[in-house]
Structure 1
Amino acid sequence: MAAQRQDTTPSQTAAVDYDVIVIGAGLSGMYQLYRLRELGLKTRVFEAGTGVGGTWYWNRYPGARFDSESYSYGYSFSKELLQEWEWSEHFAGQPETLRYCNYVADKFDLRRDIQFESRVAAAIYQDATRSWDVTLASGARYSCRFLITAIGPLSTPTLPRIEGRDDFKGQSFHTARWPKEKVDFGGKRVAVIGTGATGIQTIQTIAGEVGHLTVFQRTANWAAPLHNGKIDAATQAKIKAGYPKIFARCQETFACFIHTPDPRGAFEVSDAEREANYEKLYGERGFGIWQGNFKDILIDRKANATISDFIARKIRERVKDQAVAEKLIPRNHGFGTRRVPLETFYYEVYNQDNVDLVDLTETPIERITPEGIRTTENDYAFDIIIYATGFDAITGSFDAIDLRGSGGARLKEKWTHGPETYLGLMVDGFPNMMMLMGPHTALGNIPRSIEYSVDWVTGLLRFATAKGLTLLDATPAGTAAWTDHVKALGVGLLSNEVDSWMTGINRNVEGKQTRIVARYSGSAPAYRARCDEVAAKGYVELRLE
């Protein structure tokens, strides 16, 4: 039973600069600020960039766009906003999405409580005052009662550990730190290292501009067609009239997409029916082929082999040079066991005379040279090198901040063997800290998960304000139980047997070569039901003082 006593000793009612500090002004931080204002709490958001948008501020590389349908991705909390904003494409690109983020910031006057170019370097809990001391990279310090992290699961980019990286004389960029000014690819010799989601989007977008493109691939990834298109006036009207149904659909599906698994198993239909279903899904927009496929393709190896073989055949059909096609077909994981990149004529790029594929499993990179890249077989000269080498995912954004809880305990050390959380929202021993989209939460269609997490945190702070509480903390028992539950949910999933950002693997980060369970892999409705239960019982599972 939680202790719910009010303590008004001077040290615990000491003045703080803010009631709440939020780290990050992406989709999570913006919406959290909106909700905190409703509670009348004095709030400050610290953002490292010069503008709002988070993911859509930083990832401005060519071809960046989301893979959830636009109309299922935007905020749902304002009917007025839903009717005012018009998405131009079924899957909007980064420039349009960033305009949307700025539109939201303007509409709700969010910027007056956001401090830009303010990277949080450290946040240290003060036991004596039950407050957080937050230090920016500039050295400026602020205090707050409650700390909310809105730092995103994919926000800390990683560069490959390749010798000579700083020796290159040409231009080089990580996709997540792309320059704001336009990059001229005309006639240039360009290298792209990496063929994950960002690599695929970049490659298919610039292949028609460059003089010559060389793709360096370490791990082949399964990809499926996006089938994007413009939204015409009639469809726009239908979308706006149908928003209640669209968001209701997202609430009921497994991962908050408009797609949800087929109730049938892959072998509950004939071979012809299975093939016809795969063809149908391959020809439809979005994640249906991943999220709306047979219910057992992500848990049964034989079922997964049927869809993997189907996609492999498609790759062979689309790539003329069969030796290249075979290199583009993954051998170390099945379709859907990693998040599936959605592409637009990606495979056809390799039919162009000005595009080459280098398989790093055959000829690894030895070093970056002043002129380009040296592999074990060749020296390549380049004008531009693009690093599409991904992120230190899920826990990396927390590791980048010196986060210390009660007694000076470091979060990074607590999570040495993998994250331990309570509902993916709190960590025992780190009082008054709440996490948005941290480890062990339901990811899927991110904005749908964001809105739920923000509303849950807001509900907790409303409760704390009403009760005069100055300390909110998870218990060790609650944290252990939730962490064990998350691990149990991952048993039997083929995705948890694969090295990927979803299992915490990053060869470019020291100490992250061992798989962990970093995400909640149950259904979103089940996740919300558990969190709702905690709130409905008055948060008695927490330590409250």
Structure 2
Amino acid sequence: MPAQRRDQQADVVIVGAGILGINQLYRAVQAGYSVRLLEQAEGVGGTWYWNRYPGCRFDSESYTYGYLFSEELWQEWDWSEEFAPQPETERYLNYVVDKFDLRRHIRFGSKVNSAVWDEEASEWTTGTEDGFQIRSRYLIAATGVLSVPQYPDVPGREDFRGQTYHPVRWPKEPVDFRGKRVAVIGTGSTGVQIGPAIADEVESLVMYQRSATWATPLNNHPISAEQQAHLKANFAPIKAELDASVGGFLHKPAGKKWTDDTPEQRQEFFESVWNSPGFAKISANYDDLIFNKEANAGWCAFMADKIREIVKDPATAEKLIPTDHLYVGLRPPYVTGYYEMYNKPNVELVSLRETPIVKVTETGIETADGLREFDIIIWATGFDFGSGAMLRMGITGADGLRLADYWADGPLTYLGIMTRGFPNFFFPGGPHGAAGNNPRYGELQVCFVQDLIDYAGAHAHRRIEVPKEAEQAWMDMIAQLEAYSPFQKRGQYYGANTPGKPKVYLLNPGGRPKLDEFMAKAVASGYQGFFEGEK
């Protein structure tokens, strides 16, 4: 087959060279398929390519976040810290791509702007902004939930003549903050990492906060030689534990409830939780923390006291304490030196609840209490979560159905992987996945997709489409269990941070257990109803 033709035809086209896109590419290549991965960036990494802002790092333990499909890879790579910084993660992903000779399958600088299903040929035609087109039997959008930057609708935002940045489109060249007057808009997971990382360089730093969040210490540390040796010697049991974990972590559950302890024991227990790593604040806290409001309120009171203890100015401390939600009501950030930062004389906190932004001017930001001038504005205002990237890809399925129309009132999915009316199309890591350590549940989705494609090929099925009743059953489960979700409807997990976006739940409230249950049922039935000609 001529090279040009081969370049325009593949069994599988994958969009996105992030954590799951690389995983999906590895598995498709291992299974013997011809594969082309289209990536809009000039390098691999997805979130870990674009988000190169100061302070960016994991808040899941490094060795639990990386790939588990190769023990050889596990033995070769040494993570330097419990929670690796972005440059190290980007190096890791490049190492993986080169170790398994995957780079030759990737076309960089390829932003997808159309993907159209051809019913007669049972193929997708995918096009990019630079005019490249490729046909494939299967299309897999591994575009992730955190790939589209979200800007607030603020008058005059584009009038500012200084430097402006969004964390998810941070430049490769380091930004010079020395002696600069800097504003960070937003104190979610990104803003709370950036602030402490630049506070000692800048002339002044103003953190603009709309919603206070329950930030707790990340408690990072270098991985010692002893810990490294333990990790190397225990690949199999660690993998087994992560594969069985609901959250995808190695944290040990507390094994007790709020009522099992006396008030004094609770304070002692909370102190140990405060000093635990990352997401252990959730997974190793009281077993009933999320569903027992008294337990959650007790933990919040403990955290509030910690904030008051750390932040010397009482007025600033009170602004940093959430009053409108309990723990995990919004995505909880994990921080290093965040509260301590407010004790520096050049750092100030501004509440946008008390003094909203009126407009951005050529020289700064005007709020209800006047104009402040800045040299740099950082819009740490989050993402068009979940469905943002796919809805920008121009995806058109069977009978000319546009994904943007089918999802006009919110995503309709099966397993957070497939959607009715779009044959041979999959999106691991998209809306309605689980929650926790994303690569762990995402790997389940990647494997399910590959197994389903393999099964279709082995049984001469050209067309795969999720049955209507299967999609409905998954969506019914989400509707039934949503009431038990701790997340506030004003957060990104409901799309509430994106103007005009329908406010619907974008996660899977049943978590990994429901993902496992539904997947097992599909596999046990031989994927009944998924193939053309079946009822």
TM-score strictly above 0.5: yes
Alignment of 1:33-52 (within 5 A): 33-52=25-44
**Equivalent residues of 1:290, 1:340 under 8 A apart:** no
Deviation, structure 1 residue 493: 2.6
Aligned pairs, how many?
527
Residue in 2 aligned with 1:21?
13
Alignment of 1:360-509 (within 5 A): 360-495=352-487, 497-506=488-497, 508-509=498-499
**Equivalent residues of 2:180, 2:376 under 8 A apart:** yes
Identify which of 505, 508, 512 aligns with 1:517: 505
Unaligned runs of 5+ in 2: 1-6
TM-score normalised by length of structure 1: 0.94
1:345 maps to amino acid? G
SS in 2 for 1:112: helix
Deviation, structure 1 residue 316: 0.7
Within 1, Cα distance between the matches of 2:511 and 2:263? 29
Range with bigger deviation, 126-135 or 186-195: 126-135
Residue in 1 aligned with 2:243?
251
1:173 maps to amino acid? Y
**Percent pairwise identity:** 44
SS in 2 for 1:239: helix
Deviation, structure 1 residue 202: 0.3
1:75 maps to amino acid? Y
**Equivalent residues of 2:9, 2:136 under 8 A apart:** yes
Identify which of 224, 231, 243 aligns with 1:232: 224
Deviation, structure 1 residue 260: 5.5
Within 2, Cα distance between the matches of 1:268 and 1:134? 57
Deviation, structure 1 residue 526: 4.0
Residue in 2 aligned with 1:11?
none
Range with bigger deviation, 517-526 or 324-333: 517-526
- After superposition, give the CA deviation of every residue in 1:328-352 in whole Å (9 maximum; x if it has no partner): 1112211122221110110010011
2:28 maps to amino acid? L
Within 2, Cα distance between the matches of 1:386 and 1:510? 23
CA RMSD of aligned residues (A): 1.5
**Equivalent residues of 1:251, 1:525 under 8 A apart:** no
**Equivalent residues of 1:253, 1:525 under 8 A apart:** no
**Equivalent residues of 1:300, 1:494 under 8 A apart:** no
Residue in 2 aligned with 1:160?
152
Deviation, structure 1 residue 217: 0.7
Deviation, structure 1 residue 412: 1.9
Deviation, structure 1 residue 291: 1.9
SS in 2 for 1:396: coil
- After superposition, give the CA deviation of every residue in 1:295-319 in whole Å (9 maximum; x if it has no partner): 2221232221111111111111110
**Equivalent residues of 2:8, 2:133 under 8 A apart:** no
1:298 maps to amino acid? I
Range with bigger deviation, 122-131 or 74-83: 122-131
Deviation, structure 1 residue 443: 3.0
**Equivalent residues of 2:357, 2:365 under 8 A apart:** yes
1:528 maps to amino acid? D
Deviation, structure 1 residue 39: 2.1
Within 2, Cα distance between the matches of 1:300 and 1:70? 31
- After superposition, give the CA deviation of every residue in 1:153-175 in whole Å (9 maximum; x if it has no partner): 11111111111111111111001
Alignment of 1:169-208 (within 5 A): 169-208=161-200
TM-score normalised by length of structure 2: 0.96
Residue in 2 aligned with 1:540?
528
Unaligned runs of 5+ in 1: 1-14
| CA gap 1:51/1:45 in 2 versus in 1, 3 angstroms | same
Residue in 1 aligned with 2:258?
266
- After superposition, give the CA deviation of every residue in 1:67-93 in whole Å (9 maximum; x if it has no partner): 111111110111111000000001000
SS in 2 for 1:276: helix
**Equivalent residues of 1:254, 1:260 under 8 A apart:** no
